[in-house]
Amino acid sequence: MANPSSIRTSSGIDDLKPWIESAIESACNFGDGCPTELADAMRYALLAPGKRLRPALVLMAGEACRKTLDSQLRDQLTPGAVAVEMIHAYSLIHDDLPAMDDDDLRRGRPTVHIKFDEATAILAGDALQAEAFRHLATRVSDPVKAAAAMGVLAEAASANALVGGQADDLAAEKGSPDRTLEHLESIHRRKTGALFAAALDLGAVLSGADESSRQTLAQYAADLGLAFQVVDDLLDHTADEADLGKRVGKDADRGKLTYPGLIGLDGARKKAHELVESAKCRASVFGTAGWRLTWLADYVLERTH
**pLDDT band with cut points at 50, 70 and 90 for residue 176:** low
Q: What is the mean pLDDT of the chain?
A: 89
Residue 3 has what pLDDT? 42
Q: How far apart are CA 288 and CA 298, in angstroms?
A: 16
For the ranges 145-149, 204-208, 239-243, the lowest mean pLDDT is seen at 239-243
For the ranges 62-66, 156-160, 252-256, the lowest mean pLDDT is seen at 252-256
Collapsing DSSP to helix, strand or coil, 279 comes out as helix
Instruction: Give 230's Cβ-side CA count (13 Å radius).
Output: 28
Q: How far apart are CA 101 and CA 287, in angstroms?
A: 40
* Max Cα distance, the chain (Å): 53
Q: How far apart are CA 129 and CA 123, in angstroms?
A: 10
> Per-residue pLDDT tens for 94-112?
999 999 989 999 888 999 9
* Cβ neighbourhood burial of 246 (10 Å; 0-12, 13-18, 19+): buried
Residue 41 pLDDT > 50: yes
In 3D space, the residue among 77, 33, 25, 37 whose CA is nearest the CA of residue 55 turns out to be 77
Residue 171 has what pLDDT? 83
In 3D space, the residue among 55, 73, 246 whose CA is nearest the CA of residue 153 turns out to be 55
Residue 177 pLDDT > 80: no
User: What is the length of the chain?
Assistant: 305
Residue 249 pLDDT > 60: no
**pLDDT band with cut points at 50, 70 and 90 for residue 254:** low
Phi, psi of 145 (to 5 degrees): -65, -35
Overall average pLDDT of the 72-92 stretch: 97
Residue 188 pLDDT > 90: no
Overall average pLDDT of the 242-261 stretch: 62
Residue 206 has what pLDDT? 98
Collapsing DSSP to helix, strand or coil, 67 comes out as coil
Overall average pLDDT of the 251-264 stretch: 75
Helices 71-95 and 36-46: angle between axes, nearest 10 degrees: 110
Q: How far apart are CA 293 and CA 280, in angstroms?
A: 7
Residue 90 pLDDT > 90: yes
Residue 247 pLDDT > 70: no
The amino acid sitting at 79 is P
Q: Are 278 and 223 in contact (CB under 8 A)?
A: yes
For the ranges 27-41, 84-98, 290-304, the lowest mean pLDDT is seen at 290-304
Q: How far apart are CA 300 and CA 305, in angstroms?
A: 10
Residues 6+ apart with CB under 8 A from 189: 165, 222, 225, 226
In 3D space, the residue among 171, 197, 195 whose CA is nearest the CA of residue 184 turns out to be 171
Q: What is the dihedral of CA 9, 13, 16, 20, to 10 degrees?
A: -160
Residue 240 has what pLDDT? 54
Q: How far apart are CA 231 and CA 272, in angstroms?
A: 7
Residue 244 has what pLDDT? 47
Collapsing DSSP to helix, strand or coil, 256 comes out as coil
**pLDDT band with cut points at 50, 70 and 90 for residue 175:** low
